[in-house]
């Protein structure tokens, strides 16, 4: 990693969900492992883009980092503090530095609270708990500042979420996330529900906030072009595992994992001449959704370059280019010596 | 390029009469679809792309919606004037439609076989056995492996991409001349999207079926379509062959839309271009250019009069005062260049 200090360090994170017992399973519980040994680090002021298709575990990773779901195992360290073993009270204090922005700005805002109330809520909670003591007037002033900051007119303070457009609602969600002056924002598909022209506004806002406030982001999206635009580093997830990670530019110039190559090749480019001339790498089939055997490379049944070994062995992430790691046997012999 | 027009939409207007006033969801749009052509309709939410296609088959719920005027000429007849019985032979038979969310388009209680056999028998008068054989063939053609086994499964046993393949097979069941695909891949992952787009492209080539592809993604239409219409607030801002439209985007909205998309093939330096403001409230649109409040080159006239279409090249039409001859001179204060 780079010389910068890591704000967030995640090691071997595992999240599994019980499937529930059925009359036929003989009482034995089965599990779906949504996140299967994910390790990542975000240096201060950086953006890590997490990309993958539905069901690959991106959201579960973010939620487990925020301790909204309890990880089955692994460690999550924010500013050097281990979150997974913390008590409730400690966690509330620690979580001040880590906030979330969600995909659907409609369902993530309480329809019965007005805009000012939504943005003030974290401040009120932390004030009530005595963690950040603020007077009502100070909270009001802070809400006004936050609305200015994200580009909402202060006059909208009394309006309710349904009176706002999708882009404006996302701005409310961002203002709420900024309320406690966090250092890290976990953004779970924050622009996926927005139209192109609004998406560009919100992406620019994320960038401006990063420049001004020195924020770090974990930015989740399924759109690779968005990820490339916003991220310093990118991690590609498939079925709960990170299959490739590298600095943003290098991933797009030198995708190594067959899945990354297919993913990049599937992104349509808005230019008919380029689109016609492109070579497409296609993968067969769908992402498997259900509990699966833990054997082999998670991508082997769809991979165009699979080998015998892929069915039985599980490839580990290994650095094949500077700061560029891939979990694939195609590149295994290159580092067998090192 | 292609032989003859198969569908011609002229001055179509579909309005919704709401409590707060009239929403002009589609307000005077015209385009032609040629045999074997793929036409893309691209626009943001609320621009009227879906309403346009629902209007073609008269699937608009009325009230509140009402087709106020215009013509949809298909095989020499105006679809808007057909009797319900006549229309039924066109819908599904000659013009088929697939939607964004395949799960809500399929009946969850019925096996795929039941749903397909029913449709095929209704439209083609085959007996049950022949219809089933045909259904299996169609599923295979739509890329569903082990079709003869999977046809007896229920929709939930299929993944999103596979459900969309079932929908395509259903749409193909009557060998339609036009396939209207309304955001067929928006609910799907990119790798699956690529598979479905490949399938539509392949069927378009093999069966010579014309396709209207509705999408919010410029990338999707760029790769798929021969001709593109860019819609905004119920109107077509610019339309033309896709090479011309992407090579020389001429409406400020088209230009902005292209610039606002982050792209993988170009190094993004600095900020994305963003269009200020939001799409207009369709109830408040008067006789003006719909884009003028957000346009960085709007002139006085844009506020008061709706621009007509100017032909820039073969089939390349733009609705913008900047391209209307004479208006530059009338407004010397607007020293904007036509092509930056």
pLDDT score recorded for residue B114? 92
**Does the CB of A211 have a partner CB in chain B at under 8 Å?**
no
pLDDT confidence of A32, banded at 50, 70, 90?
A: confident
Sheet holding B227-232, edge to edge: B95-98, B178-182, B210-215, B38-42, B227-232, B235-241, B316-318, B310-313
Please give the pLDDT value at position B271: 80
Q: How confident is the model at residue B340 (pLDDT cuts 50, 70, 90)?
A: very low
Residue window 236-255, chain A: list those with CB within 8 Å of chain B.
249, 252
Q: Closest residue of A to B145, CA-based?
A: A285
Q: B159, B194, B201, B293: best mutation site toward chain A, by most A Cβ within 10 Å?
A: B194
What is the residue-wise DSSP string for A323-337?
A: TEEE--GGGTGGGS-
> What one-character-per-residue DSSP string does B266-316 give?
S---SPPP---S----GGG--SS-TTGGG-TT--HHHHHS----EEEETTE
Q: How far are the Cα atoms of A80, A238, A240, A311, B188 from residue A55, in angstroms, in the given order?
A: 30, 8, 8, 21, 12
Confidence (pLDDT) at A280 = 80
Structure confidence at residue B264 (pLDDT) = 82
Contact A264 B195 (CB under 8 A): no
Rounded mean pLDDT, A308-334: 87
**Dist CA B40 CA B33 (whole Å):** 10
In terms of average pLDDT, the best of A167-171, A276-280, B264-268 is A167-171
- Identify the DSSP state of B91: B
Closest partner residue to B274 among A201, A222, A263, by Cβ?
A201
Q: Is there a contact between B243 and A273 if contact means CB atoms under 8 Å apart?
A: yes
pLDDT at A335: 47
B9, containing H or E segment: strand B5-17
Q: Which of A187-201, A229-243, A279-293 reaches the highest mean pLDDT?
A: A229-243
Among the residue ranges B51-65, B189-203, B259-273, the one predicted with the least confidence is: B259-273
pLDDT, residue A23, reads 63
Tell me whether residues A195 and B279 touch, CB distance under 8 A.
yes
Res. A290: pLDDT tops 90: no
Residues of A in contact with B150 (CB under 8 A): none
SS3 state at B239: strand
Nearest C-alpha neighbor of A283 from the set B182, B214, B200, B161: B161
**Which of B39, B145, B222, B248 to mutate against chain A (most A CBs within 10 Å)?**
B222
Q: Does B170 or B338 have the greater pLDDT score?
A: B170
SS3 A173: helix
Q: Which helix (H) or strand (E) holds A219?
A: strand A216-221
Strand partners, A33: A16
Q: What whole-number distance in Å separates Cα of residue A93 and Cα of residue A99?
A: 12
Per mean pLDDT, which range of B56-60, B77-81, B163-167, B331-335 is the poorest?
B331-335
Nearest CA-CA partner of A310 in A285, A283, A329, A333:
A329
Lowest mean pLDDT among B1-5, B18-22, B111-115: B1-5
- Confidence (pLDDT) at A336: 45
**Predicted pLDDT at A104:** 78
pLDDT of A309 > 80? The answer is yes
Kindly determine whether residue A269 and residue B265, on different chains, have CB atoms separated by under 8 Å: yes
- Chain B neighbors of A222, CB-CB under 8 A: 189-190
> What does the longest C-alpha to C-alpha distance in chain B come to?
73
Q: What phi and psi values does residue B122 have, to the nearest 5 degrees?
A: -60, -45
The one-character DSSP state at B40 is: E
Percent over 90 (pLDDT), chain A: 57
For the record, the structure tokens of B194 come out as 């690529």
Q: Do A195 and B257 touch (CB under 8 A)?
A: no
B54-67: pLDDT as tens digits = 999 998 888 788 89
What pLDDT digit, counting tens, does each position of A33-77 carry?
Answer: 889 999 999 999 999 999 988 888 899 999 999 999 999 999 999
Q: What sign results for the dihedral spanned by CA atoms A229, A297, B194, B93?
A: negative
Closest CA to B111 of B142, B136, B137: B136
| pLDDT at residue B1 greater than cutoff 50 | no
* SS3 of residue A147 by DSSP: helix
Assign A276 a pLDDT band (cuts: 50, 70, 90). Answer: confident
**Average per-residue pLDDT in chain B?**
86
Report pLDDT for A1.
46
3-state secondary structure of B214: strand
pLDDT value at residue A13: 95
- CA-nearest of A65, A38, A47, A43 to A233 is A47
Instruction: Compare all CA atoms of chain A with the CA of B222 and give the residue at the minimum distance.
Output: A272
Which residue does chain B place closest to A226, by CA atoms? B262
Kindly report the backbone phi and psi dihedral angles of residue A309, in degrees, each rounded to the nearest multiple of 5, phi listed first: -60, -30
DSSP bridge partners of B77: B74
Q: Is A26 on the interface with B (CB under 8 A)?
A: no
Of the pLDDT bands very low, low, confident and very high (cuts 50, 70, 90), residue B101 is: confident
Rounded to the nearest angstrom, the minimum Cα separation between B138 and chain A is 18
pLDDT at B283: 67
A318's tokens? 């290994």
- Residue B195 tokens read as 């598979």
Lowest mean pLDDT segment, chosen from A279-288, A289-298, B178-187? A289-298
- Substitution target from A197, A228, A249, A303 for chain B, most B beta carbons within 10 A: A197
Structure tokens belonging to residue B86? 């006549």
Nearest in space to B270 (alpha carbons), one of B278, B262, B280, B282? B262
Instruction: Phi first, then psi: give them for residue B113, nearest 5 degrees.
Output: -60, -45
pLDDT value at A333 more than 60: yes
Distance of alpha carbon A148 from alpha carbon A239, whole angstroms:
40
Across the interface, of B161, B219, B279, the residue whose CB is closest to A286 is B161
* Closest among A59, A55, A50 to A236, alpha carbons compared: A50
Structure tokens at B175: 């060998």
**Is 90 exceeded by the pLDDT of residue B187?**
no
Q: Determine the distance in angstroms separating the CA of A266 from the nearest CA of chain B, rounded to an integer.
A: 5
pLDDT band at residue B18 using 50, 70 and 90 as cut-offs:
confident
> Checking phi first, is residue B227 left (phi over 0); if not, alpha (psi -120 to 50) or beta?
beta
- The number of beta carbons lying within 10 Å of the beta carbon of residue A130 is 7
Task: List, in order, residues 6 or more apart from A285 with CB less than 8 Å away.
Answer: A301, A302
pLDDT at A268 over 50: yes
- Report the alpha-carbon distance of residue A237 to residue A231 in Å, rounded: 15
Q: Do B162 and A287 touch (CB under 8 A)?
A: no
A150 Cα to chain B: minimum distance (Å): 14
Whether A123 has a pLDDT exceeding 50, the answer reads yes
Asked if residue A188 has pLDDT above 60, the reply is yes
A221 touches chain B (CB under 8 A): no
Q: Where does residue B338 fall: left (phi above 0), alpha (psi -120 to 50 degrees), or beta otherwise?
A: alpha
State the average pLDDT over residues A253-274: 90
- With cut-offs at 50, 70 and 90, classify the pLDDT of residue A192: confident
A51 beta partners: A221, A236
A51–B contact, CB cutoff 8 A: no
Closest Cβ opposite residue A270 in set B189, B258, B267: B258
Contact A248, A49 (CB under 8 A): yes
pLDDT at B337: 41
Q: Per residue in B254-267, pLDDT tens?
A: 999 998 888 887 76
Work out the angle at residue B152's Cα, subtended by the Cα atoms of residues B146 and B156, and round it to the nearest 5 degrees.
Answer: 95
B-chain residue closest to A290, CA distance: B159
- Check if the beta carbon of residue A18 is closer than 8 Å to that of residue A31: yes
pLDDT in tens, A140-149: 999 999 999 9
Interface list for A 88-147 with B (CB within 8 A): none
User: Rounded to a whole number, what is the largest CA-CA distance in chain A?
Assistant: 67
């Amino acid at each position: 990693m780079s010389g910068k200090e890591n704000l967030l360090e995640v090691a071997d994170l595992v999240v599994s969900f019980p499937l529930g017992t059925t009359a036929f399973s003989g009482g034995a519980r089965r599990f779906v492992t949504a996140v299967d040994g994910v390790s990542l680090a975000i240096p201060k002021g950086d953006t890590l883009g997490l990309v993958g298709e539905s069901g690959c575990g991106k959201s579960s990773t973010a939620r487990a980092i925020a301790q909204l779901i309890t990880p089955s195992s692994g460690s999550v360290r924010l500013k050097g503090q281990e979150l997974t073993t913390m008590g409730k009270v400690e966690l509330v204090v620690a979580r001040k530095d880590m906030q979330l922005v969600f995909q659907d700005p409609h369902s993530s805002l309480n329809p019965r609270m007005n805009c000012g109330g939504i943005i003030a809520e974290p401040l009120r909670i932390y004030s009530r708990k005595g963690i950040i003591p603020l007077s009502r007037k100070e909270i009001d002033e802070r809400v006004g500042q936050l609305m200015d900051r994200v580009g909402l007119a202060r006059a909208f303070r009394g309006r309710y979420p349904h009176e706002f457009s999708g882009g404006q609602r996302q701005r409310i969600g961002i203002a709420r996330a900024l309320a406690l002056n966090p250092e890290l924002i976990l953004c779970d598909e924050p622009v996926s529900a927005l139209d192109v022209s609004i998406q560009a506004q919100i992406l620019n806002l994320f960038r401006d906030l990063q420049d001004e406030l020195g924020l770090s982001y974990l930015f989740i999206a399924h759109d690779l072009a968005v990820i490339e635009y916003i991220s310093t580093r990118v991690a590609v997830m498939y079925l709960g595992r990170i299959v490739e990670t590298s600095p943003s530019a290098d991933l797009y110039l030198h995708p190594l994992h067959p899945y990354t190559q297919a993913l990049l090749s599937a992104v349509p480019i808005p230019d008919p001449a380029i689109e016609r001339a492109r070579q497409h790498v296609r993968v067969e089939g769908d992402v498997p959704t259900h509990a699966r055997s833990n054997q082999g490379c998670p991508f082997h049944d769809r991979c165009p370059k699979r080998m015998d070994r892929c069915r039985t062995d599980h490839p580990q992430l290994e650095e094949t280019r500077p700061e560029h790691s891939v979990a694939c046997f195609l590149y295994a012999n290159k580092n067998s010596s090192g | 390029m292609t032989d003859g027009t198969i569908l011609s939409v002229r001055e179509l207007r579909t309005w919704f009469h709401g409590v707060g006033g009239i929403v002009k969801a589609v307000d005077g749009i015209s385009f032609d679809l040629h045999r074997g052509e793929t036409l893309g309709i691209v626009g943001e939410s609320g621009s009227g792309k879906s309403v346009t296609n629902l209007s073609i088959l008269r699937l608009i719920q009325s009230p509140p919606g009402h087709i106020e005027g215009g013509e949809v000429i298909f095989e020499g007849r105006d679809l808007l004037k057909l009797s319900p019985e006549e229309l039924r032979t066109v819908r599904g038979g000659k013009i088929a439609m697939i939607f964004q969310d395949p799960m809500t388009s399929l009946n969850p209680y019925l096996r795929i076989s039941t749903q397909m056999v029913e449709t095929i028998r209704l439209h083609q008068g085959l007996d049950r056995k022949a219809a089933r054989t045909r259904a299996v063939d169609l599923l295979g053609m739509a890329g569903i492996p082990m079709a003869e086994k999977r046809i007896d499964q229920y929709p939930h046993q299929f993944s999103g991409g596979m459900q969309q393949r079932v929908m395509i097979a259903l749409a193909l069941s009557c060998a339609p001349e036009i396939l209207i695909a309304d955001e067929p891949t928006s609910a799907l992952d990119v790798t699956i999207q690529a598979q479905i787009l490949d399938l539509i492209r392949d069927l378009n080539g093999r069966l010579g079926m014309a396709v209207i592809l509705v999408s919010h993604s410029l990338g999707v239409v760029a790769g798929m379509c021969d001709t593109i219409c860019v819609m905004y607030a119920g109107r077509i801002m610019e339309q033309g062959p896709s090479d011309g439209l992407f090579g020389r985007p001429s409406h400020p909205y088209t230009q902005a839309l292209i610039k606002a998309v982050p792209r993988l093939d170009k190094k993004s330096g600095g900020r994305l271009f963003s269009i200020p403001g939001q799409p207009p409230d369709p109830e408040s649109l008067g006789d003006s250019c719909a884009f003028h409040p957000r346009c960085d080159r709007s002139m006085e006239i844009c506020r008061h009069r709706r621009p007509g279409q100017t032909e820039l090249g073969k089939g390349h039409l733009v609705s913008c005062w900047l391209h209307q001859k004479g208006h530059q001179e009338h407004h010397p204060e607007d020293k904007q260049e036509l092509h930056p």
